[in-house]
Amino acid sequence: MKHQFVVSISDLSLKYGEIKALDYLSINIPTNIVVGLIGPDGVGKSSLLSLISGARAIQSGEVIVLNGNMREKSVRDEICPRIAYMPQGLGKNLYPTLSVEENLQFFGRLFGHDEYERRQRIDNLTKSTGLYPFLDRPAGKLSGGMKQKLGLCCALIHDPDLLILDEPTTGVDPLARAQFWDLIDRIRVERPQMSVIVATAYMDEAERFDWLIAMDDGKILDTGTPKELLQKTDSDNLESAFIKLLPKEKRENFEPVTVPPLHLDQNSSIAIKAEGLTMRFGNFTAVDNVSFEIHKGEIFGFLGSNGCGKSTTMKMLTGLLPATEGQAWLFGKEINPKDLDTRRRVGYMSQAFSLYSELTVLQNLELHARLFHVPENEINARVNEMVARFELKDVLHALPDDIPLGMRQRLSLAVAMVHKPELLILDEPTSGVDPVARDNFWRLLIDLSRNDGVTIFISTHFMNEALRCDRMSMMHAGKVLDSDTPQSLILKQETNTLEEAFIKYLIDAGAGTDDEDQPKSLTQGNPVHTSTEHFQRFSWQRLLSYTWREALELKRDPIRATLALLGSIILMFAIGFGVTLDVEDLPYAIFDRDQTTLSQNYANDISGSRYFIEKPPIHNYEELDRRMQSGDIALAIEIPGNFARDIAKGTPTTIGVWVDGAMPKRAETIRGYVQGLHQGWLTSMAKYEYGVDLQPSYNVEMRYRYNPDVKSIQAIVPAIIPILLLLIPSMLTALSVVREKEMGSIINLYVTPVTKLEFLLGKQIPYVAISMLNYILMVILAIYFFGVPMKGSFLALSLVTLLFCIFSTGFGLLASTLTNSQIGAIFFTVILTLIPAVQFSGLINPVSSLEGFGAIVGQIYPTSHMLTATRGVFSKALHLNSLTHELMVLMIVVPIIIITSVTLLKKQEA
């Protein structure tokens, strides 16, 4: 049965805390057409699309997609393979360290394609999009337009019935935008049954869509074809139409932006001059021999393809980057990155919001005023001036994240102007801002230029903004193609619009896609079919896809790879040599106030012990205090005056022993050593001087099993292995999942057929393998480097270790479900692994000696049982039949930790 609507929504609401993103929205979206959601950032477009795709949980209302209720998990599981979702952000669903080929292989595996089918689809898609020559290039090194094309290829790898694109061309240059939409048009010709829903902030590209939904503040303003909306509002372009559709209070007093002419003459001074400016990063030339001049008070636009070097050029002009070659002057003075005086004459507003989100609007202004050395007595007046000029009074005490995007951009401009610079450099300042706020922003710029004489150097991808510039430069591949007024550039290329002129400049410069080797059809070689197969509850192919991808990413991340392979070894060296319970080589000194043969005999008896190292003698109490305080000695022995005489007379005498008690356990051990040595000296003196044998008629003879020399290294080194196999694998596994949350690629879990169990186990397997490799290396180190022999069964210990590594990596998975940042994941895993492992697992004190809560933790904590196994196999010659208890505990804990992690992991955003 053919359905009239691809999506039906009733009374849909969504809140983020107190903020209402969607407000009881109801709409039916027609099938088999391209539907556009138009409106600025923050109006609810992305929220609506994420609900339609199933990536976000429905709070209230009903969403029917492809005739299935998206509130029901079983329905989402069935419908998910029929939907392709490309989230907002350049390459947000991609993996930057993976190549174009590897990204596509990964998505092909997730959707169940075999090797032959994947090859056919990848070749056809990449040839059609111009990505075929770049199959080996990492996704992170692609330009913005190429990333979006790759994201589209990944979305189309499985022939979806519904394609959802969330602002796919934001931040992409006009040529790449045009190519992207031409590609969509070609796909729709070949797949007429596919519906497309697109969110966009570019009104000019929305004119090519079949049907539009205008949104603002979580509500639908109006719907219809572009032609119908233009007729309803009596407008000649969609941007004007959208402004007229806004509520009255938002468009009140709105007037079109007018730019007064700039009057320049021969005496007009030059604000910026660049000659042969070049910037290289290794073998890559980002900016190639750029030259231009900008007059004081001029609004100079920079228009170029993604990655062409615009931002790099701006950073060189601000002194943030030293040029490799060439020269640049600001106000007649050569730019020197170390010259702060010149930098104070410049205000810079970066492409991304770069203010402090934890500071209020007022605090940000005051902070930057001080950073730019505004005199203290002028700061209040300057801040008040900025607040009034940029209309920030109502949000002075609000945090930047809590104010609208347009107001946040005004704040960034106010901060850039707080020190009253003569030059303002703005890197795509209005990206994502609604048309009204964008026009208000430009009024501020025009006022600064015409009334204050501020020179403005601005980059943009909005053509209507570029037309407002006095002059502009076209840039591609690090080179300036032409510089002139916008109208002159249009006339030179004999086009009707600036966008057409820009695209023609880029094509003439060699940009664009070579169509020669492209197939006539995206599906050439394999028939188009819709993914209607029944959803598989478990798939080894999907699971191993994540294993393969995780192994590749780990291999290409030098920091994580080093930590995974060498972290345990380095820490084993450090702990093995640095942590010891042996109390030997103790520095001591004698304070001999008697200076007789007998007192020297007493001192010599101590110096012959292997436990002590003799230091120069002490001469007074002040020296004793000073040396013990500095750590020069841990023990001081004071032999009193008349020591020999009192001994000869039989008069009781006392020898003073001063022990450094900062470390109580060591102090107690020293006390025992001294008492033993003293008793031995008395016995020998009684026998040899007086012929009296003080030995008792009976004796206790002690023998130590398993560690005859009572060396702590025999206990410490085997105990290090479980601690390190718990700490590092759990941390690495947690980071691998949380990293996807931070980068945004977790969206692939939400919108692909992969299950939570497949996702977690797939990411866990590489770290279990690495943990076992680390285990083998640490065993080799323990035996051959530290000299700790393994007396028991290596295979039995390996079996226990395998289960323990599954537990430790599983604990990392659990940590990742409870944290959303890599820093949080590190703190969580370190605190909840190290503290129980050191305090309650028997590392220092036996578990049997613990009481209360500590005893309970020690008995159930898996590290306790792993530590028993390692010490038992190394020292007590234990075999498999002696480790059944430890194996049983781990076999119970492993599924519990995995099931808990799967339960807590969300398959949708809350």
| pLDDT score of 531 | 43
Cα–Cα distance, 405 to 170 (Å, whole number):
15
Model pLDDT for residues 339-379, shown as the tens digit of each residue: 767 777 788 887 666 778 788 989 989 988 888 888 888 88
Residues 6+ apart with CB under 8 A from 453: 296, 297, 422
The answer to whether 87 touches 155, Cβ cutoff 8 Å, is: no
Model confidence pLDDT, tens digit, residues 231-287 = 998 888 888 888 888 888 777 766 778 888 888 776 778 888 889 899 888 888 888
The mean pLDDT value of the chain amounts to 84
- Residue 695: the pLDDT is 59
pLDDT of residue 48: 92
pLDDT of 704 reads 66
What is 5-95+161-248's CATH number? 3.40.50.300
Reported confidence tier of residue 461, pLDDT bands at 50, 70, 90: confident
The DSSP-derived string for 394-424 is GGTTS-GGGS-HHHHHHHHHHHHHTT--SEE
pLDDT classification of 533: cutoffs 50, 70, 90 = very low
- CATH 3.40.50.300 in the chain is located at 5-95+161-248, 270-508
Work out the pLDDT band at 1, boundaries 50, 70, 90: very low
In the prediction, which pLDDT does 100 show?
A: 92
pLDDT at 104 over 60: yes
270-508: which CATH topology?
A: Rossmann fold (3.40.50)
How far CA 750 is from CA of 75, 195, 540, 675, 905, in Å, comes to: 14, 20, 18, 69, 11
Cα 85 to Cα 740: distance, rounded to the nearest angstrom: 17
CA separation for the pair 268, 846 (Å, rounded): 84
pLDDT at 317: 80
- The length of the chain, given as a count of residues: 910
State the pairing for strand pair 635-639/586-592: parallel
Does position 478 have pLDDT exceeding 90, yes or no? no
**Among 315-319, 431-435, 732-736, the least confident range:** 431-435
Distance, CA of 837 to CA of 722 (rounded, Å): 9
Domain with CATH 3.40.1710.10 in the chain: 586-690
pLDDT band at 177 (very low <50, low <70, confident <90, very high): confident
On the question of pLDDT at 580 being above 70, the answer is no
List all residues 6 or more positions away from 195 whose beta carbon is below 8 Å from its beta carbon: 6, 29, 30, 31, 32, 33, 35, 161, 162, 163
| Cα 745 to Cα 891: distance, rounded to the nearest angstrom | 33
Q: Which of 89-98, 633-642, 675-684, 763-772 has the lowest mean pLDDT?
A: 675-684
Q: How far is CA 12 from CA 17, 44, 197, 648, 903, in A?
A: 16, 11, 18, 102, 27
The confidence band for 692, taking pLDDT boundaries of 50, 70 and 90, is low
- pLDDT of 801 > 60? The answer is yes
Q: Place 529 in a pLDDT band, splitting at 50, 70 and 90.
A: very low
pLDDT at res. 102:
93
Rounded Cα–Cα distance for residues 624 and 49 (Å): 77
Measured on CA atoms in the order 194, 197, 201, 204, is the torsion positive or negative? positive
CA distances from 591 to 105, 614, 796 (A): 78, 12, 56
Indicate the CATH number for domain 586-690: 3.40.1710.10
Q: Is residue 443 pLDDT above 50, yes or no?
A: yes
Please report the pLDDT score of residue 526 as a whole number. 47
Looking at the chain, the whole-number percentage of residues with pLDDT higher than 70 is 91
> In this structure, are residues 668 and 703 in contact, taking their beta carbons and an 8 Å threshold?
no
User: Do residues 818 and 828 lie in contact, with contact meaning Cβ atoms separated by under 8 Å?
Assistant: yes
Closest CA to 53 of 1, 104, 94, 88: 88
Q: Which amino acid is at 511?
A: A
Residue 213, pLDDT score: 93
Instruction: Give the helix/strand (H/E) hosting 166.
Output: strand 162-166
Q: Are 570 and 201 in contact (CB under 8 A)?
A: no
Regarding predicted confidence, which is higher, 639 or 846?
639
Q: How many CB atoms are located within 10 Å of the residue 541 CB?
A: 15
Please report how the helices 100-110 and 115-129 are oriented relative to each other, as an axis angle in degrees rounded to 10.
Answer: 130
Alpha-carbon distance of 194 to 162, in angstroms, equals: 6
pLDDT at 388: 84
pLDDT, average across residues 456-482:
86
| The pLDDT of residue 693 | 57
- Average pLDDT rounded to a whole number, residues 26-47: 87
247: Cβ contacts below 8 Å, ≥ 6 apart: 216
- The first and second tokens of residue 160, run together, are 């979806």
- For residue 198, name the pLDDT band (cuts at 50, 70, 90): very high
Is the pLDDT at 870 greater than 90? The verdict is: yes
Strand runs (DSSP E) across 310-463, as ranges?
Answer: 325-330, 333-334, 346-349, 423-427, 455-459
